[in-house]
């Protein structure tokens, strides 16, 4: 599931639509880190920092009035 969400967000980012669901995506990966299945937890651990960087870059690149 974590891999699938990562692919969907990657596709959404091409159109800047991932910003609309920022909180839900970050919450999903924060929660998946505590999953009992190791593969899912690993996907969360690997992807959460990437999404944090993605959103940090997007927020910092917008004009101050829209951030």
Q: What is the pTM of this model?
A: 0.60
Three-state SS annotation for the chain: CHHHHHHHHHHHHCCCCCCCCHHHHHHHHHHHCCCCCHHHHHHHHHHHHHHHHHHHHHHHHCCHHHC
What's the pLDDT band for 16 if we cut at 50, 70, 90? confident
Structural domain spans, the chain: 2-66
Whether the CB-CB separation of 26 and 59 falls below 8 Å is answered with no
Q: What is the pLDDT of residue 58?
A: 61
Write down the pLDDT at residue 61: 57
Torsion of CA 65, 27, 13, 47, to 10 degrees: 130
């Amino acid at each position: 599931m974590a891999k699938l969400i990562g692919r969907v967000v990657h596709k959404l980012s091409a159109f800047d639509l991932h910003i609309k669901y920022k909180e839900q995506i970050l919450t999903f990966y924060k929660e998946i880190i505590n999953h009992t299945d190791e593969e899912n937890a690993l996907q969360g651990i690997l992807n959460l920092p990437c999404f944090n960087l993605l959103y940090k870059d997007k927020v910092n690149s917008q004009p101050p009035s829209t951030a």
